[in-house]
Amino acid sequence: MFGKKSIRWFKIFSSVEKAADVLPLNKPVKVEMDGEIVCMVRTPKGYFAFEEFCPHAKAPLIDGWADEHNCFICPYHRYKFDLETGFEKTCGGSALKRYPTEVRADGLFVGKESKGWF
């Protein structure tokens, strides 16, 4: 169907156990997905992937952290982004670009949306 989004999946870790070893709780790690750097964080609610720089003023989000409400905190101005929705909860302005994640039997995958025919 023309114009409908599809998702291409990329294996980031070979197993969930490996992901849990590499990703400390609530602290992001940079990973490469299809030639693009994204941040990944493991929280008690799961695995989340999002853009490398803050949508507010481009702070490097690798220096941020997730809080007990499953929000990600930017280190520069402490804006809080809901990891489930991407919405910014401090001022209600910008939104964090997120990537879907999926735990499968053969690893942890991050998805990238693409438009086109399928």
Q: CB of residue 56 vs ligand FES: minimum separation in angstroms?
A: 3
Q: Does 77 bind ligand FES (CB under 6 A)?
A: yes
Spatial distance between the Cα atoms of 47 and 102, rounded to a whole number of angstroms = 8
Say which residues have a Cβ less than 8 Å from residue 35's Cβ, sequence separation at least 6. none
SS3 39: strand
Q: Does 76 bind ligand FES (CB under 6 A)?
A: yes
Q: Does 89 bind ligand FES (CB under 6 A)?
A: no
Q: Does 54 bind ligand FES (CB under 6 A)?
A: yes
Region from 6-14, 16-24, 69-77, 101-109 binding ligand FES, contact rule CB under 6 A: 69-77
Residues numbered 15-34 forming contacts with ligand FES, rule: CB under 6 A:
none
Q: Does 74 bind ligand FES (CB under 6 A)?
A: yes
DSSP summary character for residue 60: B
Taking alpha carbons only, the member of 46, 44, 35 closest to residue 101 is 46
Spatial distance between the Cα atoms of 72 and 61, rounded to a whole number of angstroms = 9
Positions touching ligand FES (CB under 6 A) are 54, 56-57, 59, 74, 76-77, 79
